[in-house]
Amino acid sequence: MKINIAGRQYPLSINAEEEEAVRNAGKEINKLIQEFEDRYAVTDKQDAISMVALQMASKYNLMKQAGSGNDAEMNEKLTQLTEFIDKELDKI
């Protein structure tokens, strides 16, 4: 499958059962990028992507601290998303 993040297409090899979750994650990432660009007049995509990554990582850490990070499946999905974001940021 291909996913569009911040105006760029990225090919992904994923299981069919993960496709909807990945598409939804892509939509959420793009929505957050747009919100950062609108709210803070961010003109550099890398800055917006970095802020989204920081926000998502912060939420993940808060969930872990609250004890709700015990769900193995949720942790795996968040880890995959974090790794994906890290790889894409490395390309910029």
Q: Is the pLDDT of residue 2 over 70?
A: yes
| pLDDT per residue as tens digits for the range 7-46 | 999 999 989 999 999 999 999 999 999 999 999 988 899 9
pLDDT (0 to 100) of residue 27: 95
Residue 78 neighbours by CB distance under 10 Å? 19
| pLDDT per residue as tens digits for the range 78-88 | 888 888 887 77
Residues 29-62 as b/e (b if ≥16 CB within 10 A, e otherwise) read: bbebbeebbeeeebeebeebbbbbbeebeeebee
